[in-house]
Amino acid sequence: MSRETDAVLQLLGQHEAQILTEWMQEAGANASRVTEAGRRAMRTDAEEILRGVREALGGGGDPDAFQSPQWNTLRGALESLSRSRAAQGQSAGDTSAFVLAFKRPLFALIEREVREQPMAAAWTVSLLADRMAQWTVSTYQHTREDLIRRQQQDLLELSTPVIKLFEGVLAVPMIGTLDSARTQVVMETLLQRIVETGSRLAIIDITGVPTVDTLVAQHLLKTVSAIRLMGAECIISGIRPQIAQTIVHLGIDLQGIASKSSLADALTLAMEQQGFVITRRQV
């Protein structure tokens, strides 16, 4: 353990209560907008961080090697802090500012208490606080990215519902752009529902799909192929005149796949294939 690290560790052990109090003041814990529960949470977070710092420095941890095992406890405390604040809607800047507020009380103590190489001790504190702040920002970004991915997945699933129209017939009304990720969700959800319901026919309605290009057509063909491998058949509805012209122009072969211009026509065909006869009731 270096002399400056030992000096910082002694300050943390001898003046913990003072450091915590001044840290909270610097972090704005006494502001009128902070509730009493918020103040207690901030102090608890600070105590966990200080515990991790003492453990790491006492075990010979070097701030320049912040990824080393000695810093595991501290990194865990910072990750918990960052995830908690991200879930509360606070920004990465707010979290890192809270961590950086750790510097001021330590600098004041170093200036007052450390006689040998105070600048080296101050540099150790500054480097450590910067590493801590960087770690919280990195964790915050990963947390937000995971949240966005989960929300995107949820939106994909919500935007591609599989509806049971009647016994043996399912329908998937599609709205918006059809890309690889969405096609995969449609395929997995539809195949799962075919297994669950024992349906023999699926209607894919693309009325709400704005454009159909080669990639979209390939996605549709893959979905139809997967449905057929499950022993079911497929009808594509919503083939508007513009889409029909585009499909012909691109030379896409949809032979063998039933297609209709509207969902109503597809439903009529599906009922006929299931042996139902539609008649108008006399009034």
Give residue-wise pLDDT tens across range 99-109: 898 888 999 88
Question: Per-residue pLDDT averaged across 181-185, rounded?
Answer: 74
Give residue-wise pLDDT tens across range 29-80: 655 577 788 788 888 988 999 999 989 888 888 888 888 999 999 999 998 8
**Taking the alpha carbons of 268, 270, 271, 277 in that order, is the dihedral positive or negative?**
positive
SS3 155: helix
Q: What share of the chain is helix, strand, coil (3-state, %, to 5)?
A: 65, 10, 25
For the chain, list the domains and their CATH numbers.
3-149 (1.10.490), 163-273 (3.30.750.24)
Paired with 173 in beta bridges are 205
SS3 233: strand
Pairing label, strands 233-237, 258-260: parallel
Give residue-wise pLDDT tens across range 126-179: 998 899 888 888 888 887 777 777 766 666 555 568 888 888 889 888 877 777
Residues 101, 207: Cα–Cα separation, whole Å = 56
